[in-house]
Structure formats: structure tokens, C-alpha cells
Amino acid sequence: MHRTERLYKINELLHAKKVVSFATLLATLGVSRSTLKRDLNYLCERLHNPIIYSRELGGYRRGPSDPVDHHPHELPGLWFSPTEIHALLTMQQLLAGLDAGGVLTTHIAPLMERLNALLGPPSPRKVVADEVKKLGEKYF
């Protein structure tokens, strides 16, 4: 499991349960004690995730939210540069036109769903671009 996956898994476990023991984290993640300690330290120190070890409860738990903004802590999301967004849009168009209803459709569908979720609902500009594309296909 990659480090990013582990960090999100730790966060998920802490959200799902009140207290998560070190042994449970080790078993779930399948990493060494040292790696788990480094991951917990990274979450606390670098990502400012409020994780607290409670000796009385025998495990790790979520700490209180930041009193300044009163929002629960979340791990960083995905950020894309303009070039990456353009590449995603291009990929979406290529995948939409590739083998529509054919053999690859079932394999491409999860990627298309992910791209569509990342890009959000279609904008009027995209709808116009799709219509122009359809007209081009019809006449050329």
C-alpha cells in the first residue's frame, strides 16, 4: 500500500471508530511499527491532523477541531494545474468517443466516472462544444 493510501486509511479508521489501537492500525495497514509511527507523525506534524494517543482508552483518537475555524480536519484533496485540467478534459473526450458500447466500454467506465466526478457537472460551454462536435461528425 502506498503512503498516500495509508494516510487516507488511517484517517478513515479514525473517523469510523472512536479509538483505534496501534495493533489494529498495524494489522489493517500491513506495515512495520516504524512505518506506522512515521505515518502518524506525518499526519500530525505536516498535515496538522489532530490525532491524540489516549493511554486510558488504549489507542489513537481524533482530537478536537481547530477552535479558530470550527471545521473538522480533512486531508488535502486533489489540485490540478490548468495544463492538467486540459489534459483531463482531453482524456474525457477521447474516452467518450472510444469504442462507444463496445468491448472496452466496461473497462473504461470507472475511469470515465472518476473523470466526470472530478470535472463536475457539464457547463454550458461544454454542451456547446459537444454539439459542435456532433455537427462536425454529421457533416464530415
Q: Each residue of 89-117: pLDDT tens digit?
A: 787 777 777 766 677 777 777 777 776 77
Quick check: is 76 in a domain? no
Structural domain for 22, as ranges: 3-62
The sign of the dihedral angle between the CA atoms of 44, 74, 28, 61 is positive
Same domain, 17 and 55: yes
Same domain, 126 and 87: yes
Same domain, 8 and 48: yes
Same domain, 89 and 57: no
Q: What does the alpha-carbon distance between residue 112 and residue 20 come to, in Å, rounded to a whole number?
A: 35
Same domain, 87 and 128: yes
CA 62 to chain centre: 20
Quick check: is 74 in a domain? no
User: For residues 107 and 47, which has the higher predicted lDDT (pLDDT)?
Assistant: 47
pTM over 0.85: no
One-letter amino acid identity for 106? Answer: T
Quick check: is 68 in a domain? no
Q: How much is the pLDDT for 139?
A: 45
Number of C-beta neighbours around residue 140 at 10 A: 5
Same domain, 125 and 95: yes
> Alpha helix (H) ranges present in the chain?
3-16, 22-29, 33-45, 82-97, 105-119, 124-139
